[in-house]
Amino acid sequence: MSFEELGLQAELLRAIRAQGYTQPTPIQAKAIPVILNGRDVLAGAQTGTGKTAAFTLPLLQLLEGRSGGRQPRALVLTPTRELAAQVGESVATYGAHLNQRSAVIFGGVGINPQIERLRRGVDILVATPGRLLDHAGQKTVDLSRVEILVLDEADRMLDMGFIHDIRRVLKLLPQKRQNLLFSATYSDQIRQLANGLLHQPEMIEVARRNTTAENVSQLVHLVDKGDKRRLLSHLIRAGDWHQVLIFTRTKHGANRLAEQLSRDGILSAAIHGNKSQSARTRALQEFKSNKLTALVATDIAARGLDIDNLPHVVNFELPNVAEDYVHRIGRTGRAGSSGAALSLVSDEERKLLKDIHRLLKREIPVEIVEGFEPSPSGAPSVPASVEAPRRPRRPRNRRRGGRGNQAKAG
Ligand code: AMP
Asked if residue 388 has pLDDT above 70, the reply is: no
The alpha carbon of 47 and the centre of ligand 1 are apart by a number of angstroms equal to 9
> For residue 241, how far is its CA from the centre of ligand 1 (angstroms)?
29
Residue 367 Cα to ligand 1 middle (Å)? 32
Give residue 404's pLDDT band: very low, low, confident or very high (50, 70, 90): very low
Where among 205, 224, 244 does a domain terminate?
205
Residue 90 belongs to some domain of the structure: yes
pLDDT tens digits, 184-231: 877 788 889 999 999 999 999 886 544 555 667 889 999 999 999 999
Q: What's the rounded Cα separation, in Å, for the pair 410 and 407? A: 9
Supply the CATH number for residue 200's domain.
Answer: 3.40.50.300
Separation in Å, CA 147 to CA 84, 88, 123, 125: 19, 18, 10, 12
78-86 average pLDDT score: 87
Q: Which residue has the higher pLDDT, 82 or 133?
A: 133
Give which of 177, 225, 271 is closest to 169, Cα–Cα: 177
Centre of ligand 1 from the C-alpha of residue 52, in Å: 7
Average pLDDT, the chain: 86
Q: Which domain holds residue 333?
A: 216-400
Q: Tell me: do 14 and 154 sit in the same domain.
A: yes
Determine if ligand 1 sits within 6 Å of the CB of residue 304.
yes
Per residue in 320-350, pLDDT tens? Answer: 888 888 878 877 765 445 678 999 999 999 9
What is the number of domains present in the chain?
2
What is the per-residue pLDDT for 212?
55
Same domain, 101 and 228: no
What is the distance between the terminal CA atoms of the chain, rounded to a whole angstrom? 44
- pLDDT of amino acid 234: 94
Question: In sequence order, what are the residues at sequence separation of 6 or more whose Cβ sits closer than 8 angstroms to the Cβ of residue 408?
Answer: none
**Amino acid identity of 233?**
S
Let me know whether 246 and 188 are in one domain.
no
Instruction: State the pLDDT at residue 377.
Output: 66
Q: How confident is the model at residue 310 (pLDDT cuts 50, 70, 90)?
A: confident
Which of 48-52, 63-67, 97-101, 239-243 is least confident?
63-67
Final residue before a domain boundary, out of 205, 237, 260? 205
pLDDT at residue 380 tops 60 = no
- Supply the pTM of this predicted model: 0.58
Atom of ligand 1 nearest to the CA of 21: 20
